Structure 1
Amino acid sequence: MKLKFAALALAFAAALPAHAALTNNAADIGNATVVDFNDYDGFLTIGPEAVAPGVVFTGDEGSELGAFIRDLGSNGIWGADTPFVAGGAIGELRFTFAELTSGAGALLNHFAADFFPFSVVVSAYGDNNQIIETHTLSIDTDELGYNEGQFVGITRDAADIRSISFKGNGVVLDNLAVAAPVPEPETYAMLLAGLGLIGMAARRRA
């Protein structure tokens, strides 16, 4: 009886939409793989480019893997210490995952000035390229700062993120974190079914 109730509860939970949360803490991307882009050196590309096993980059014109310097206007300067990813003018940097994930994010900043908005759009996409979560947020760092930024990520209760994108003017990012794949609800359902069969077999023997 308890097994049946657990199976019903799991099925009900799987039918509910996944809860999402915007996070500024890289530790919230559990058991993450981190992509640092140190293997690139000023590679101008719109992709697709595999930047890590199971992670493919695409971007708008002017995107650069392994950029070394960017003037971010009122948000300071990024550069010299370590390669990063940079967008051109207003555009998108997107990372698509071979396996669905429950969370992804990156250290992020962008060009800002009085005549440009202090904002960037971070979106998570599911299968079929549909947006499942999107956030517009402000990143405001010291005008005299160097390599300053903010970690921005999206976490979900279920592994339903196929890609994550960062859109804005002169977006820069580094240390992309991607949560390790977790079993999908169907996997848990099969596990419960297997346990049920084992329980039935044990009763028959008793």
Structure 2
Amino acid sequence: MKKVLAALSLSLLALSSAHAGTIAGLYNTGAGSSFTTDDNYQLKVISGSTVLPGDHPYISGNGSIRGEWLPNSGASKWITPMPLGSASLDPDVIGIYSYTLRFNVSDAQLAGARFTGRMAADNLVSAYLNGHLIGTGTGFSSWSNFAANSGFVSGINTVQFLVINEAGGGNPSGLRAEFLSSITAVPEPETYAMLLGGLALVGCAARRRKQA
């Protein structure tokens, strides 16, 4: 019986140390497929200056962003509704800009999926995973955190950053976001086999004791 319990313990240990990977498709802002636009993020202008383009935001270089903004880095860059990040927007009405990132989670990855990150915006930002709030932030000179350990779905998931730009003159707007960590635990096939084998041994042992 001790050998059986040992086998089961090893199986459970293997299951708890199942293969852990990262969630593919969680891109930091400014890591788009071109030097001018970030094709990983979809931009939707909900309200604000009517001349703004849509589809994908612009990647702003260090020389074209507001001086008080966190400086761009190799990890992430500011993305903005206009090619020039320091362009003044929304002189009379509040601007609301949606930046959406899509990524895929498989059935096997679903139970163990989670991520953490940080964000900054001019002026206010709320982060959502599949419509569920996962963080809020204020300001463009410091970071605010966001995180999700639930709320994922099998298949296509969305992370949306909703940026509010307060009305006024000399008024740029932009978003900066970095995913600091992401984990999804996927048990290897041999792990399942070990667990099932241990359970089978326990069942056999129980039957023998009953028959004795």
Normalising by the residue count of structure 1, what TM-score does the alignment of the two structures yield?
0.49
Structure with higher strand content: 1
Normalising by the residue count of structure 2, what TM-score does the alignment of the two structures yield?
0.48
